[in-house]
A and B are shown apart, each in its own frame.
Chain A
């Protein structure tokens, strides 16, 4: 067994951490307070080329392995969850199906500009009445001549109101349930495609999240993203484990941001004539947080290792997402206690971490759904 990162991974981690410390972390508070998409930071960051992280070098990507991807997701989230969410959407879910199924023209129009940060990508699963329950998707695609006509409304779409293109999950026949689901590309400017309500969120502020409306939107056949009809859910399965592990890595990054500030505070804050880090009950918090974070890290990176080596990561990925997120919630909570009343003030960061952590509960599957999946997978069909 070898738990150490390879030299190249260590170097990548240090480099990304430096970039995050220099470019992103100093702006995190402002991003949260303004709750506006940080266009300047986006342009500055995307120029560096990391948005092509997981795609081949031949098309301008970095061909990063799964360990590197997790390192990236963890570090960028340590800087700002709001910014990380938009970046990761362009890197992974927002472009995956375009990369996988888009023809050359679509890749030229959408994928390559998104890898350069010139276009903003997103994916649309959730609707007002369906999230984890994909089978309840009501957005409908109907064959119309040499293309498809799409009608429906999507909600909770990360980058939605500012996206240049989106991959939309729609059913071709609601009676088929999951087997009726397919992906379609819709680009900004297509008649009938518009954004609706922008959500005012508790956390992850700075990422623009909201509603996308498809009102009789017509797209050509080439915008159907798949080899054959009815395989949408199967295609989701291709990246679902990575998405779950990514959420776990984000949770780790956020937990670390909170933990590091809590540690600094515990070393410096004096109460009853000594730094509070000298009190046993504060030390106990660090013992617990460190243990939990180490356990979460092992699970997330073990899952990434399984994926990288082509092994079945379905259960571990679900466990990693669930456990790392719960650990993150615990850590951000403990850090607010270490900070005392200061954590309740907007001047200090712990309240932001506390708010941001809640978001990670939902992406990649709620824990109620994940627990059921894990339990079902372990016990098997009875």
Chain B
């Protein structure tokens, strides 16, 4: 475990060094995110000039939700998506061999080799927005709420990671699947708003099947209903289970991988 954390730290440092050559990219991304956030703020103005709450969520709670959405979006774009793309290319060209023969866990290497630093800015801004919403919310900020939120966000990210791992493992059997990620982004878009607004079947799909709701709405709802011990414990066990299943699935995939030349 310690070794993996140190490895990830090394990957992160290398990525920062690589991307330092493209500083303009970082700043322009950040500007773009700020611009979109201004658009989101204007959208909130439109919504809340017509109503007090959206499906029971107040303005402050929706701000926390939107911040959370951008934290998750930033992490997916900076860690999950770039590694996935590279991995898919490697399976197709057969160069995955080089990764599998390295003396470290293949799944770990395939998922965390590279961090697209430019997109980390979005996660940072998201955190700032979420903090703003949390501070503004009535009753003030309770440290317990914040801890519960962070724990739930961590579990949510583990579940989302498991989902991506299953998705990318499919490439072992079906070589052309980049389009899957486009479907993911369409559904992810829906996570900008509280899941409660969607009809039941759609909520089931976005909430649990493609775990957008679990990772965005659920942590943010901690500030609405007060997420506590039992709920968190159940969530953590769900995350552990998801990770276990996904790793199994990955191993099945690797076992059926035959390299390009053979």
Q: Do A and B bind each other?
A: no
Q: Which residues of B contact A (CB under 8 A)?
A: none
Q: Which residues of A contact B (CB under 8 A)?
A: none
